[in-house]
Amino acid sequence: MIIGVPKEIKVHEYRVGLTPASASEFIRSGHQVFVQAGAGEGIGFTDDAYRAVGAEILATAEEVFATAEMIVKVKEPQLNECAMLTEKHLLFTYLHLAPDPAQTEALMASGCTAIAYETVTDKAGGLPLLAPMSEVAGRMSIQAGAHALEKEKGGRGLLLGGVPGVAPAKVVIIGGGVSGMNAAEIAVGMGADVSIFDRNIDVLRRLDNRFQSAVKTRFSTGHDLEDAVLDADLVIGAVLVAGAAAPKLVSAEMVGKMKDGAVLVDISIDQGGCFETSHATTHAEPTFIVDGVVHYCVANMPGAVARTSTFALNNATLPFGLALANKGWKQAVADDPHLKNGVNVSGGFITYEAVARDLGKEYKPL
């Protein structure tokens, strides 16, 4: 198969779909790899590093799309990239279609088959290709939130862990999954007062066993969550419904009652966000303020630590990418029902039920 790796074009996005080592694995398996010039230079992967493992360098994204059968990316294709896709293409990347009707329509119009990292599953019911970026985003959410709490950034002027004689900041994490657990790990390490909300008792038990008395685990009811949010200095939104739009768990009315200078970090923003006042931001302008509350809603948060994120993502995606290349996508998804769950669009139809439901579109099972 002919594999294409274009340069990412979202604002301050330096990750790349394949590292030179990953490209080498495809080439060793008998495939061709074409990489856009400069695709990995932002994180230290030179064009010569790709040439050294047998990949070929093409000058433009247009050449990569025209040459390749499978496009391997990191972030969802922008509309000008969607316009370069055709029915011959297999797209393997994050998509996050539920809150993005424009991208969905463009992918349907292209006729391509698009496999979303975030809906590929595993035997345990997890999301193995989302997990590494959830780990990164969870850990980053605390350092981003701690920075936003500084007075210069509009925050309350609090040190997250306090100092002897001064109480630490109160951190509320909504969602005890991979990103929420990793957020708690860093918040506890920084000495914050941490509470985690979830509606799954088994998740709360697991968190309680992991953190012991270092965190407060709380079952999420509307009343208790509101009380905690209004008392919080930093709230992390780490809610995920696989493939679907995130539920709005913090209303605009609640935000209006929060402390001046409190901070909301919305990890769920790729799926539309779990705060009613959220809208996607970029690394260039990461925050905005509503009713005195600082919002950090960067839609590609792991892109800030692009080298770490690229290695972590490639570790997870490489086996699936090789299966798609070695077998062809139809045989690969026939052999692996978990990879099949990743197919969101094919032949002009939405093939993932939650996406179709949230967008009010026709669902056609693969």
- Provide the annotated active-site residues: 96, 270
Report the 3 state secondary structure along 21-32.
Answer: HHHHHHHHCCCE
Q: Are 111 and 123 in contact (CB under 8 A)?
A: no
Count of Cβ atoms closer than 10 Å to residue 41 Cβ: 14
Record the tokens describing residue 94, joined without a space. Answer: 């994050």
Do you know the residue count of the chain?
A: 366
Q: Dihedral sign for Cα 81, 239, 139, 207, please.
A: negative
Bridge-based pairing of strands 293-296 and 193-198 is unpaired
- Could you tell me which residues are beta bridge partners of residue 33? 3
Instruction: Describe the crossing of helices 178-189 and 201-211 by its angle, rounded to 10 degrees.
Output: 30
Residue type, 50: Y
Residue with tokens 């433009």: 60
